[in-house]
Each structure stands twice: as C-alpha cells, then as structure tokens.
Chains A and B, each alone.
Chain A
Amino acid sequence: MRRIRVGVKFCGHCNPLLDGGEMVTAAALLDDRIDFVSWLDPELQQLLIVSGCPIDCVERPPFTGEVVHVAGQRVDGKMTPLPEVPDAIVRSILRRAGIQG
C-alpha cells in the first residue's frame, strides 16, 4: 500500500502551548502508513499545519489538497487533551485519505 505523504508546516513556535515537533514525532510512531515530510516536498498528498498556540499566525503555503490543522490544543478546530493530540492528527489524516483508522 502506498504511504500517505503529509507535508508539515510549523508556525515558528515563539511561545508555544504545545511542542509541535514532539507531537509530529509522536504521531509518526503511531501509524506507519503515513510519511511526515517537509511542506516543500513536491509530491504532497496532504498538508499538516502545526501552530504552537491558538493565535495560529503561521503563513499558509499555497496547497489545494486536504489540510489537517493543529493550533494549540485544537485539532481541526476541536479541543483535544494534549496526550491525545498525536492520535487525533493521525485519525484526521487517515480519514481524509479515506482510510479507516
């Protein structure tokens, strides 16, 4: 099965409520069907935006595909307990790819 290539764009993390790097690293360990790569990768299937806080000031790169969005403890707009954020990221990616978690 072809793995899902997800480009990750971080906000800069000036005063983060969550460590986006740690969250993505943890998410990568949860499901080996997903490859987290740079947002500059030319073959992205999805984009994962990770802002360290709800201000969410990250600059959005032009992308027409599916976008998973983390801003502080909100994953796709839904408040999520911190330990559950990596799992919520994975579930959102799989759902958008039409795969059952």
Chain B
Amino acid sequence: MPLKDGKAYRESLQPLKMNVYAFGEKIENVAEHPLFQPHINAAALTYELAHDPLTEDLVTATSHLTGLKISRFTHIHQSTDDLIKKVKMLRLIAGRTGSCFQRCVGWDAMNATYSVTYEMDQELGTGYFQRFRNFLQYIQENDLMLAGAMTDPKGDRGLSPAKQVDPDMFVRVVAKNEAGIVIRGAKVHQTGIINSHEMLIMPTMAMAEEDVDYAVCCALPTNAPGVIHIFGRQTNDERRLGGGDIDQGNARYGTVGGEALTVLNDVFVPWERVFMCGEYQYAGLLVERFASYHRQNYGGCKAGVSDIIIGATTAMAEYNGVAKASHVRDKVVEMVHLTETLYCGSIACSCEGAVTPSGAFFVNPLLANTVKQNVTRFIYEIARLSHDVSGGCIATLPSEQDLRHDEVGKYVEKYFKGVDGVPTEERMRMARLVENMTGGTALVESMHGAGSPQAQRVMILRQANLGHKVKLAKELAGIKERDSKK
C-alpha cells in the first residue's frame, strides 16, 4: 500500500466508528466533529509532508523489514542518524502546526517494544519479538497511526498495582484462553487516540512478582469491542464550536494533542498481538526505553513550537511599537537561547545513542531525561517572556464577534490598534496565537507530558555515575582509597 496522504488518512478514520464521548454526548462522527478537527488536521499534516518534496527527506525512511519507503513515524531507528532525523522532523512539523501532532507516542512505543521483546526472548525463551515484527510490518505497510498507551490511572501512587484497593487502577490481564487474553482497566492522557487506528498498551512502571497480571504489552484497534474513549477538555476548547477563527488562536491545529481517557472493559486481544504477558521483570525496561525515547522528542517538537512563539512575540513587539527597545530584544534573545538549549539536548542524546541487541538504536537516556527536565522549566520561562513582551491584551481582548459587531466593532478596531500600518485584526490574531500557545493546557503538557519532572530526576540519578564523580574529586583532593577489608 502506498504512503497515505492527508486526504487518505482522513478517509481512513471514517469507517472506524470509535466509541467516543465528549461534553456528555456520544460522538457519532469523530472525523467530522469540529471539536476534533484541529487534532485531525495536525496528524493529517504528518501524512501530507511525506509527499512534499521539500520535507520528504525527513518525514520518510526506508523500512529495515521490507526495504520499502515508509513514514518515519513507523520506522525503527537503525542508526544515530535516524535518531537525529527524528528530532529534526519533530522540529519541522511543530514549526508548522504550533501544536502536538501526536504520532511520536506510538512511534516511541514501537521502538521500545521492538528492542525489549528481543531482549526478553533472548533471556526467557519467549516468542514475542517475531510477533511484534509482524505487527510492525502491518503498521508500516498500511501506514497506520498508532497511539502509545502507557499511563495508567495509578490510584494511590504510594501503592503497587497489586496492592491497590481497586484492582483496575492499572491495566491487567483478567482472563487467558487458547485464543488470547482479556484485559481490563484504563489508560489516561491518551494523546491522539481518538484519531488513531491502533493502540499499543504498555505497563506504566517497573513491577514485582506480585504484579504479574499487570505486566502486559499488547496491541488492539482503537475501535475494539469494550473500548470507550472519553475526550479531555482543553483550555478554551468551546471556542472551536462557535463562529469565527480569531479567538481560537490556532484554528487549524489547536492546542497540544487532544487527550482522552481510554477505558478497557474486558477487551479481548489475540495472542498474535500480545508482546508481554506476565514477564514482570521486563516491565521496568520497557518503561525506561519508552520514556527515554519520548523525552528525546521534547527538544525537537518544543523547539518547533517555540520557534512560532518567538516569531509571534517578535511580531507583537513590532505591532506594539517596542521592537527596538533593548530590553525587548534581550528578552527575545533569551527565548532563542532557551529554545536552542532544548534543541541541543535532543540532538546530543541522539548523537550519543547506541545500538541495542535487537539492532535498533536507543538514545543516551541521561541526556534525554535532562532535555525533558529542562522542558518542564524552559517552556514556562519562554511563555513568561512572551507574555511580558506581548502585553496584557492577550488576556483581555474582546471576542471576534465584538470586532465584527455593527455598533461596537469600531471601538474595538480603534482602541486595540497598535502601530500605524498594522490592522487591529492582525494584532488581535497574533495576540490570540500567543494566548493559545503559552497558557493553560499547552503549559501543563510541557510539565507532565512524557512523565512528570520527578520521573526524570529518578532516571537522571540512576544514570548519573556518581561513583565516578566522587573518585575524580578524591583524586584531586589527595584522598587515597581505603582498603575496604580493613
């Protein structure tokens, strides 16, 4: 099957007829409902750019399974160059959408599962790797969008899966038979899942023997019987349902990815789609691989998003007549510095990637986690500087309807004007874009997407090689190693 374009992707969503709820209603046609259009548009662009001569070098790759041209979003990294191209592609696309385009989650899930199933088979004699390769080939050949489904509700965060009062707080296997398994539970914050074809379920944390039923990795269609998606609200999402486009800020691509609570009510999964079932020893490794791949992304996509925020902020400074003020220029420089620092980290963790036993390449996890830790801070600072320079109007502007109003429109036009030569509507459009990209849901995504800050700090400490650092210090301080036997 040839690579899908944006139109073919949209059409492929029509027959899915997923079980989706939003605003207390069952959504009959997700593909055409206005609430979901920005997210579908962003994902569709990833398909479109694979056909654009200007971008195809980054957005496509050659399958190591078939030798055919595939979407890079379904590719298993075969080199550090692939890891670098991943980051560059994410910056490219985010610079077009200004929002999340959702496909990296499933991509990272595939790369993590690929290498971990290989290692699991080597040690335990299981047969998951070949199964997963078959599934991967199906995804590549049909150019499907896959949601990576990791985060469980977790209930009491102080208790392990098996010790929860409600056993459904983590996805678990509730039945097995000759044909497959039955899973129950839920996955939360599921980016892009309501416009994905498939989902890849993974455990959410390292597990012990008592958690054996929770150590499950498997794939299922997003419209499988027993699956219910309840769409999450986003800042100002109702602006999509009214008339006009100015107040949405980014009417075409929206805000972040479009997340949902996905309920799994005794969902059957055939064995050929099960890639871990009870091998609790490998749950932690799968989480670590996925999380590091996913944290690698953030200096790419957030750099692309920040490119737009910097552009919008610079434009607002010009519209306000303050672009030449030295403090404004300095703030823009600081925004660029923070953006490129994030990008540096993602490029570095890619350059320092290494091959796994499966042949797939894995990022440097210490550097990848450092990037994401920086994102939890730098994006907030970039947003703060943008607010500072853009001015208070980003939070107080009247609506587009008021701008168009027969009686009061002339006042909005007159009193929200900036420098001569720039129409008020353009200043309002840019201010709304800044509002959309720098507040509410967009910021929280930078904090908790790909794991909360503490999750990165745990991995940073684990990878920090502190013993070596102490040894270096002792050497310089003239402290001799003591014989531990004495």
Contact = CB atoms under 8 A, between A and B. Distances in A.
A interacts with B: yes
B84 interface: yes
A10 B95 contact: no
B95 A14 contact: yes
Nearest to A20: B54
Interface in A28-59: 38, 57-59
B53 A14 contact: no
B302 interface: no
A14 B89 contact: yes
A10 B88 contact: no
A59 B88 CA distance: 13
B57 A8 contact: no
A58 B56 CA distance: 10
A20 B92 CA distance: 14
A12 B57 contact: yes
Contacts of B57: 9-12, 58-59
A14 B88 contact: yes
Contacts of B92: 12-15
A57 B53 contact: no
Contacts of B84: 57
B224 to A, nearest CB: 36
- Decide if the interface of chain A is mainly helix, strand, loop or mixed: loop
Contacts of B88: 12, 14-15, 57
A8 B53 contact: yes
29 contacts: A8-B53, A9-B57, A10-B53, A10-B55, A10-B56, A10-B57, A11-B57, A12-B55, A12-B58, A12-B59, A12-B85, A12-B88, A13-B54, A13-B55, A13-B92, A14-B58, A14-B88, A14-B89, A14-B92, A14-B95, A15-B91, A15-B95, A15-B303, A15-B307, A21-B53, A38-B53, A57-B85, A57-B88, A58-B57
Contacts of B59: 12
Contacts, number: 44
Interface of B: 53-59, 84-85, 88-89, 91-92, 95, 303-304, 307
Nearest to A8: B53
A8 B304 CA distance: 25
Contacts of A13: 54-55, 92
Given A11-B57, A12-B55, 7 more contacts: A8-B53, A10-B55, A10-B56, A12-B59, A14-B88, A21-B53, A57-B84
A21 B54 CA distance: 7
B117 to A, nearest CB: 29
A15 B57 CA distance: 14
Contacts of B85: 12, 57
A59 B85 CA distance: 10
A59 B95 CA distance: 21
A14 B54 contact: no
| Most chain B CB inside 10 Å of its own CB: which residue of A8, A10, A14 | A14
A60 B345 CA distance: 26
B101 to A, nearest CB: 14
For the complex of A and B, list the 4 residue pairs with the smallest distance between their C-beta atoms, beginning with the closest: A12-B58, A14-B92, A14-B88, A12-B57
Nearest to A39: B53
Contacts of A57: 84-85, 88
A9 B60 CA distance: 13
Contacts of A10: 53-57
Contacts of B56: 10, 12
A38 B51 CA distance: 12
A78 B307 CA distance: 28
A12 B95 contact: no
| Most chain A CB inside 10 Å of its own CB: which residue of B53, B89, B304 | B53
Nearest to B58: A12
Nearest to B55: A12
Nearest to B57: A12
Contacts of A11: 57-58
B298 to A, nearest CB: 15
B483 to A, nearest CB: 52
| Most chain A CB inside 10 Å of its own CB: which residue of B58, B91, B304 | B58
Contacts of B55: 10, 12-13
A15 B311 CA distance: 13
Nearest to A15: B91
Contacts of B89: 12, 14
B350 to A, nearest CB: 12
A11 B57 CA distance: 6
A15 B85 CA distance: 12
Contacts of B95: 14-15
A12 B307 CA distance: 16
B81 to A, nearest CB: 8
B198 to A, nearest CB: 26
Interface in A56-84: 57-59
A14 B96 CA distance: 10
Contacts of A15: 88, 91-92, 95, 303, 307
